[in-house]
Structure 1
């Protein structure tokens, strides 16, 4: 039994410490650092992106409302069943209402940048009216979090 506890403790400790390790994705950037690349805007295209505003508040409020309405129906086990059914129906309805209200396409722009080394990079981001072909820019970050920012000066 003692060896089992020691083994479990060692596993948990190794797992916890492994979460603290930093991962270098091939660059020299350390924790909290962001690589910034420079280039010039080649092209800007208007587009739309789907919102990812899905907080779950609609499902929670709908579920609570459904429980409240279900508690008004029947007695005993029937009331419990009505409350559960009301919670499920309310959660589904609340989630649907939230999606109809907030999950609408938003204006965005696809910015194509020619980097100083000649490589073309495309970034889709919220609209920035300062970006036009020929504008010197920085690309900050990478992947879905990358943003094109005009260089000052």
Structure 2
């Protein structure tokens, strides 16, 4: 997949810096720190471990469907839906279907998009636990936890990514 030329006015559909399958479409430094944008595929039956971070995240579903838990609220988002994951509010997301999903995430402020390179480097080494994920995530202002995992994996038949 073609890379992205930083500072371009247009970012084409097939452009982006590949961070282990996640495409960085816009870097925070290109917007004076205002936003960062990634495009991410999401495997069927996969769950991102619950976490909190220091920025707001707007999730836009391009294809497929995703479940998102923010605090105590669970929503099912389909293609064309937006979901807000506010800063410092515990949240997680998962694809409970047998079909892949694809989504955009918009980070405000920007900068968090750089997490995906470090996280991908860690996952490339094999299965990882929350301690390793938190070690890598600390520099990016994200903290993972294991609350909700047994409940969600049992109810939706998903597995935790990276485990």
Both proteins in one fold, TM over 0.5: no
Greater strand share, structure number: 2
Greater Rg by CA: 1
**Aligning the two structures, in what range does the TM-score lie when normalised by the shorter sequence?**
under 0.3
Greater helix share, structure number: 1
Q: If the length of structure 1 is used for normalisation, what is the TM-score?
A: 0.18
